[in-house]
Amino acid sequence: MDFFSQPLSFEFIQRAAWTAAVVGFTNGFLSGYVVMRRSALMVGSLSHTLLPGIAVAILIAGLTTATAFIGALISALLVGLVAVFVARTSRIDSHSALAVLYTAAFAGGLLILDQIPTPMELEHWLFGNILALSNPDLWMSFGASAVILITLITLARPLLLFLFEPTIAESQGVPVRRLGYLLTGLVILGLVVSIQAVGCILSVAMLVAPAAAMLQFSKSPQSLIWGGGFLGAIVSVLAVFISYWLDLRVGAVIVLMLGGAVFLAYLFGFRHGALRLLLQRPPAKHS
């Protein structure tokens, strides 16, 4: 029991564990919608738009939790909306527009950072530093996570109908386009919430890996969504304690453990696991 009790005697570990549980569950829950929508590549692109927002925030108001949070959120929303606008007003598809815009935004962020004194804390936003969270940071993460979870749970039925049967949803009066925008906005908020835990660069893992692992076990969208939430929370909390004992970077451990969970699910999933399918394959007939 010392594995848990000794680290929990420190307040910064308590804050990190609570944040890991809430952010891990929220992003794992949201990852079910990301996987069902097949938008993992879009999430990866949007994760690169967080850095320029933080760079502009440093330029305008200095680096604080609030300015970095707001800057990253505005940057990702702006790039996402402009990509949709370009796709609807030209022959460029949304994926191509997003690819061009996020790389341009990322390059712009790098140029801004080259021209200003870079705070030491910037590394925390690039690679995550959940152990350095303050109480206001904790409550900010809780508030944003609550918005995401309440919205997804309240709109679960129309969102699932939109994902699986958009034509039927539209015929029943469901605002399909607005739901698409809403889901993208929630994904962006999830990315912003996770950057204090794993950083801009690795944030996409928390929004894809939990549901990707649960795909091998789930029998329904609900089990995929809730299973992804619990898996994300458990892995994130365990990563905090493992990082404490081994003196490792928490964000990297979270992402590596999530990657390991996906690999194990791929091998041993009792519904679609590779080993199960291999064992069920009929033996080859010899002529």
The tens digit of pLDDT for each residue in 205-243 reads 999 999 999 988 888 999 999 999 999 999 999 999 999
State whether the Cα torsion 172-175-181-185 is positive or negative: negative
CATH of the domain spanning 2-273: 1.10.3470.10
Q: Which amino acid is at 131?
A: L
Secondary structure class of 173 (helix, strand, coil) = coil
Domain ranges of the chain: 2-273
Q: Among residues 210, 197, 194, 200, which one has the least CA distance to residue 239?
A: 197
The single residue listed with the structure tokens 């402009």 is: 82
Are 207 and 261 contacting, i.e. CB atoms less than 8 angstroms apart?
A: no
What is the DSSP secondary structure assignment for residue 271, as one 8-state letter? T
Q: Among residues 94, 93, 76, 70, which one has the least CA distance to residue 144?
A: 70
pLDDT 10s digits, 95-105: 888 899 999 99
pLDDT in tens, the chain (287 residues): 677 788 888 898 999 999 999 999 999 999 999 999 888 888 888 888 898 898 898 888 887 878 888 999 999 999 988 888 888 888 888 888 889 999 999 899 889 888 877 666 677 777 788 888 888 888 888 999 999 999 999 999 999 999 898 888 888 888 888 898 899 899 999 998 888 788 887 888 999 999 999 988 888 999 999 999 999 999 999 999 999 999 998 989 999 999 999 999 988 876 666 676 666 766 655 55
Q: Among residues 266, 168, 242, 201, which one has the least CA distance to residue 54?
A: 201
Run of H or E including 112: helix 94-115
Q: Which token pair is 181?
A: 């925008």
State whether the Cα torsion 58-60-66-70 is positive or negative: negative
Q: Among residues 38, 63, 22, 36, which one has the least CA distance to residue 206?
A: 22
